[in-house]
Structure 1
């Protein structure tokens, strides 16, 4: 059976959303990030990324990780692509061309959007968004995002989804990175097709279920 390691408040949200979409049976091991614990090495500490039991699975000490038989994957986008190929049905690529397009969009969003979008999320989360330093960080991140968001805008002006004219794993991979920029609504408002698309993605029942589980976890 496929086993997924990681909590909802992590990049495990990506495969967890996809697994919800596909209805795949899987084992879920809720490994929490060590930095979120007062003492990750305490005897009563929950299973975390510094626990010997988890390091035996992923020596990098990062979540998510996935095992599927003898296969071990430790990158969230690789995990979602594997699930989509092996269990995704219509959410997976229907041809070699769709596979290549899915990989392209997944790499695009990871390299061009995720890091500056996370800078916005982290600045909002740490309460410094209204300071001069925080406003500067957000402004710089937003400027870095305008070019890749324009690329998405151009694509989504003529296509309802990322690949194949239907909702697929490519939408999940891209949406979960663009989500980090949603805390800057005026930025997304500059790209109405992107804004409408991500709202459609997040209206899906599987996303809503994943998000409810994420919100139920301690912050």
Structure 2
């Protein structure tokens, strides 16, 4: 049976959303980030990314992680590409070219967008967006995102989805990265095709189910 490790308020959303898309039965182990705990190694601490039993499964101590009947993976993009190929229908690649494009857009999001999008997300989450220092962080991050957002905008100008004119794991992987910048509306207003694409992805029932579970989870 598939086991997914990680709380909803983490990168595990990518895998939990995909599990909803694929209608997969799975066991959910809500491993929390150690940084959110005062003493992650306390005897009564919840299972977290520094818990020895979890490190025995994933020595990097990151989330998400999966165990699919003994197949253990702990990089979110690799996890989702694997699950899509093994269990997917329309979300999976149909040939080698689609496979390559799905990897390209997944890694593009992770390498070209995620770091700066996370700076925007964390600045808003920490309540600093209206401070001088927060605005400075957001301005720099948004400037660094102009080129990758422009690339996405050009690609999506005449298509609804990234690969094969249908929603795939590439869209899911990229959307969950792009989402981190969503609180900074000017960058989306400047890229209407990206804005519309993200709205399409987030209108899916599987995303809504994942998001409802995330919202219900303690912050």
Q: TM (normalized to structure 1)?
A: 0.98
Tell me what 1:18 maps to. Answer: 18
- CA deviation after TM superposition for structure 1 residue 26, in Å: 1.3
Moved over 6 A (4+): none
Residues in 2 aligned to 1:184 and 1:125: alpha-carbon distance in whole angstroms: 12
Instruction: Return the offset for 1:20.
Output: 0.1
Aligned partners of 1:96 and 1:25: how far apart in 2?
28
Give the aligned partner of residue 196 of structure 1: 196
Partner of 2:177: 177
> What is residue 154 of structure 2 aligned with on the other side?
154
| Counterpart for residue 115 of structure 1 | 115
**Residue 216 (structure 2) pairs with residue 213 (structure 1):** no
> How much is the aligned-residue C-alpha RMSD, in angstroms?
0.8
> For residues 30-109 of structure 1, what are the structure 2 equivalents within 5 Å?
30-109=30-109
The separation in 2 between residues aligned to 1:134 and 1:42, in whole angstroms, is 34
Specify the SS of the correspondent of 1:31.
coil
Of 38-47 and 48-57, deviating more is: 38-47
User: 1:28, CA displacement in angstroms?
Assistant: 1.1
Distance between the aligned counterparts of 1:88 and 1:47, measured in 2? 30
Give ranges in structure 1 of 5+ residues lacking alignment: none
In the alignment, the residues of structure 1 paired with residue 173 and residue 93 of structure 2 have an alpha-carbon distance, to the nearest angstrom, of 13
2:210 and 2:28 map into 1 onto residues whose CA distance is 13
**Cα deviation 1:71-94 (Å, max 9, x = unaligned):** 211101111000000001111111
Moved more, 121-130 or 196-205: 121-130
CA distance in 2: counterparts of 1:11 and 1:77, whole angstroms: 10
3-state DSSP class of the match of 2:57? Answer: coil
| Per-residue Cα deviation, 1:105-148 (whole angstroms, up to 9, x for no partner) | 01111111111000101111112211211111100000001110
State the shift of 1:154 in Å. Answer: 0.5
Worse-matched range after superposition: 191-200 or 61-70:
61-70
TM superposition shift of 1:170:
0.4
Aligned length: 219
What's 2:28 paired with?
Answer: 28
The answer on 1:8 being equivalent to 2:8 is yes
Deviation at 1:188, TM superposition (A): 0.6
1:187 alignment partner in structure 2: 187
